Structure 1
Amino acid sequence: MSILIRNAAAIMTGGAGSPDDPSRAAGPDIRIEGETIQAIGALVPIAGETVIDATDCVVYPAWVNTHHHLFQSLLKGDTAGLNASLTPWLAATPYRFRASFDEKRFRLAARIGMIELMRSGCTTVADHNYVYYPGMPFDSSAILFDEAEKLGLRFVLLRGGATKTRQLEAELPSALRPESIDSYIADIERLAATYHDASPRAMRRVVMAPTTVLYSISPAEMRQTAAVARRLGLRLHSHLSETVSYQDSAHAMHACSPVAFCGEHDWLGSDVWYAHLVKLDADEIAMLAQTRTGVAHCPQSNGRLGSGIAPIREMADAGVPVSIGVDGAASNEAADMISEVHMAWLAQRARRGMAAQAVYRGGSFEGGADAATVDEVVHWGTAGGANVLGLPEVGRIAVGFSADVAVYRLDDPRYFGLHDPAIGPVASGGRPSLAALFSAGMQVVRDDVIEGVDLQELRRESMSAVKAMLAEVG
């Protein structure tokens, strides 16, 4: 099947912006053949071809979200955790409600989160799912793969879990009890055999992702899980250095920095990426760059929890692979990729600006508006994400790449008056409507509608579920 996206006002490619990797294409047309982008340029329609009119629209690669907790889509704005920093928030919200998730609620939460992402133009979702415990009555992994397939999304399961708990979990229900290392590895092997596809544009992947390597597993188990993952051809992922507590814990327990600790236990490398990395020393950034260990930057969650602003500019300049993740909706009530990249663009500028000093105090610059460009943020959220996920034929508008394409209409007043329409989705934020969204060549959104999705019914189901969960936890 041939599809022609015709007469786009602008095309962002996801490239890094160098002469040999441009961030924009002149177009104005893109031809899709089957699952693949076949041509870009001034193209003539061919007989029988479906034509998408992209007049006045901007075209982006579909976003690649590299860190999420989809089950938290029913935990937005919990008052007990709304003004709490990371550690008290964990106890107040995700741990307090985790036992409330049965199969039906887990599936509903996953569906809400995936649809929210789709409506922002995202077609690749990496979910760090840690809803696993001994005797669990449903298969949360199977539900996630099933829901993604129904919506036509590329899904990467970051299989979380823990073999030990933090003290704050110790008195909570059985849904928080740890697994044994043997059962954890056995399930990873099962999932890899059932779902994992190593091809360069796979629609299903599995990743070894203990919830937080510093707290969730032992040092010996870190080496063991890394060895198993590499034997199976899986990548590795976890949380790291989200707040200063990681630094305190690593130094107290292991007399080194969190990144150095991970390096000593085989958890650095080009097949590894971490969520957050907000609190880093210069030598840690150098170590990440040297080993090509990546980051999933989650600026909205980091802001919501008051954790800080990750040094992404410094990491990118050093050569650390950068990607974007929305994190869980329990700490980010705007868990879509447009909101996330808008925040990423602003936050890096603000971080640099905070270092500015008056000239009489030795300062040499006024502000940080050069800390991140829109084109660069698009790169982080598309090709950058595909890179850390190990999907080399995903995340770009380029010939031969998977046809994951978002066609945005800039038809809201917030986009009126733009001198450069290409920057609209990132610089203006909001939610530009989708004329079309393609995932591996399949059109999954038409005229801003996801076929088969009743948003009002989804809203009613979510309200009912939240009401019941609040009643259960008291």
Structure 2
Amino acid sequence: MSVESSAHTAAPRRVVIENCAIATVDARDTEYTSGHLVVAGNRIESLGSGPAPAGLEHVARRIDGTGHLVTPGLVNTHHHFYQWITRGLAQDRNLFDWLVTLYPLWAGIDDEMCYAAAQGSAAALLRSGCTTSTDHAYVFPKGGGDILGAEIRALAELGMRFQPTRGSMDLGESHGGLPPDTCVEDTDAALAATAEAIDRWHDPSFDSMLRVTAAPCSPFSVTRELLRGAAELARAKGVRLHTHGAETVEEEAFCREKFGMGPTDYLESVGWLGEDVWMAHCVHLNDSDITKFAATGTGVAHCPSSNARVAAGIARVPDLLAAGVPVGLGVDGAASNESGELGAELRNALLIARLRGGPAALTVRQSLRLGTMGGAKVLGREHEIGSLEPGKLADLAMWRLDGVSHAGLADPVAALVLGAAAPLTLLLVNGREVVEQGALSRVDEEEIARNVTRAVTRLHGG
């Protein structure tokens, strides 16, 4: 990659990429075998076939993209950053047993540990081409400090677009829930903390780097009152809603025993279906559930690697897409997906879908769409990110495909999705470089590793 710098300093700063393949993931799936893309400030100014227009002013950087594919930045729709410091544990457990094993450990987290965990999680995401991530923080131990604020600070330092969710649990073991009582909050306190987080941090603007979502954890860890209250709060404040849903057969059995209905019907009964809602996993949806998701516009965060790690099952992603349900990809917590990389989920989503539905169940372009525009739609940001189009925010990834692992693969999208993990030459978020030549641009990666090691040692009492 050759780079030329100019002396121009006047706004808008322009970055020009030329001679690259481009997959726009727009409504027509427009692609260019050799094209250009111009970024002005934090917006995509133009793109198309052939070289960039002549006479552009204020070009701060001109990049020769020969041998590269440019795509929208990937969008991560479900994660648990704090789990970065509990990776490698409970390796052979189903979800409920895995949670029971790890809850006592998570009860010891604090804001300093979560800052380090968020750094590690975001580093892995950025290095795999992810420009926007959510995070579902739902464990807030007494005396743990400002956990959500610590995550927000970490993500701002790395330069990632962030949509954290203020999670909560208020149904402990003593009242029939799964988590220990030490991990849950009082219902009113959880709602008050959620409202405070929205008021403190949520930015609804077009180019927002930070939006907040209300997110009670799951049907087996929260009360009806918390679910209803969170839905009312979120809609009053104009923010989105997120939770886990229909993840395992154990969750299905829990809901039928406690509420006399399956997870989808239960969540519907407390106001949790709608265009402002997305749910993680949704592995065990029947035809009626899928119809309800489609009719209400409820979104799904598909987490193929995590689902496989805890043997939750294979989500009906092709059926969801065929019904018109918004679907994005998620890493899920690093304690059930130790790599923490979103790029790998493109491949795993396709392979796992084909295990269930055959060789045509999901195409490489559908998989790329899940990881880009699908995720943007799920987060309510499809007009801002998720595709490469003039006027949209300049969140994009530039993948090298002419190296030894990818040279000769005729279809660049297939090379990205089916091939080995592609080296990331450049990642822009909001028009700014956050990854260059596979390395983080804004922070010291070795310092992140040291911070994570110290946090793990503290958590385990060392």
TM-score (norm 1): 0.89
Deviations 1:198-231 (A, max 9, x none): 223421111110011x123222332222111100
Report if the CA contact (8 A) 1:410-1:416 is conserved: yes
| Aligned counterparts of 2:316 and 2:144: Cα–Cα separation in 1 | 41
Deviations 1:358-413 (A, max 9, x none): xxxxxxxxxx1111111111111111111111112111111111100100112543
Paired residue type of 2:412: P
Report if the CA contact (8 A) 2:275-2:299 is conserved: yes
Deviation at 1:107, TM superposition (A): 0.9
Paired residue type of 1:229: A
Match of 2:286 in 1: 281
Report if the CA contact (8 A) 1:27-1:40 is conserved: no
| Aligned counterparts of 1:298 and 1:31: Cα–Cα separation in 2 | 33
| Aligned counterparts of 2:18 and 2:81: Cα–Cα separation in 1 | 35
Aligned positions of 1:175-324 closer than 5 A = 176=183, 178-212=184-218, 214-324=219-329
Match of 2:409 in 1: 418
Identity among equivalent pairs (%)? 35
Deviation at 1:439, TM superposition (A): 0.4
Per mean C-alpha deviation after superposition, the further-off stretch among 463-472 and 300-309 is 463-472
RMSD: 1.9
| Aligned counterparts of 1:91 and 1:418: Cα–Cα separation in 2 | 45
Deviation at 1:436, TM superposition (A): 1.1
Match of 2:24 in 1: 13
Deviation at 1:283, TM superposition (A): 0.8
Match of 1:437 in 2: 427
- Give the alignment partner of residue 365 of structure 2, picking from 371, 375, 396: 375
Deviation at 1:26, TM superposition (A): 5.2
| Aligned counterparts of 1:287 and 1:171: Cα–Cα separation in 2 | 29
Q: Does 1:142 align with 2:133?
A: no
- Provide closer, same or farther for how the CA distance between residues 205 and 398 of structure 1 changes in structure 2, counting only shifts above 3 A: same
| Aligned counterparts of 1:172 and 1:257: Cα–Cα separation in 2 | 24
Q: Does 1:428 align with 2:414?
A: no
Ranges in structure 2 where 5+ consecutive residues have no aligned partner? 1-12
Deviation at 1:169, TM superposition (A): 7.7
Ranges in structure 1 where 5+ consecutive residues have no aligned partner? 353-367
Paired residue type of 1:394: I
Match of 2:106 in 1: 98
Per mean C-alpha deviation after superposition, the further-off stretch among 454-463 and 47-56 is 454-463
| Aligned counterparts of 1:2 and 1:156: Cα–Cα separation in 2 | 27
- Provide closer, same or farther for how the CA distance between residues 54 and 303 of structure 1 changes in structure 2, counting only shifts above 3 A: same
Report if the CA contact (8 A) 2:171-2:179 is conserved: no
- Give the alignment partner of residue 120 of structure 1, picking from 128, 131, 135: 128
Paired residue type of 2:410: H
Deviation at 1:101, TM superposition (A): 2.1
Match of 2:346 in 1: 341
- Give the alignment partner of residue 164 of structure 1, picking from 171, 174, 178: 171
- Provide closer, same or farther for how the CA distance between residues 169 and 263 of structure 1 changes in structure 2, counting only shifts above 3 A: closer
| Aligned counterparts of 1:375 and 1:166: Cα–Cα separation in 2 | 44
Deviations 1:60-106 (A, max 9, x none): 1000101000011111111xx1001101101223x132133233221
2:212 aligns to what SS in structure 1? strand
1:124 aligns to what SS in structure 2? strand
Aligned positions of 1:27-46 closer than 5 A = 28-41=35-48, 42=50, 43-45=52-54, 46=56
1:156 aligns to what SS in structure 2? strand
Match of 2:88 in 1: 77
| Aligned counterparts of 2:135 and 2:261: Cα–Cα separation in 1 | 29
Report if the CA contact (8 A) 1:23-1:379 is conserved: no
Match of 2:438 in 1: 448
Paired residue type of 1:425: L
| Aligned counterparts of 2:32 and 2:259: Cα–Cα separation in 1 | 49
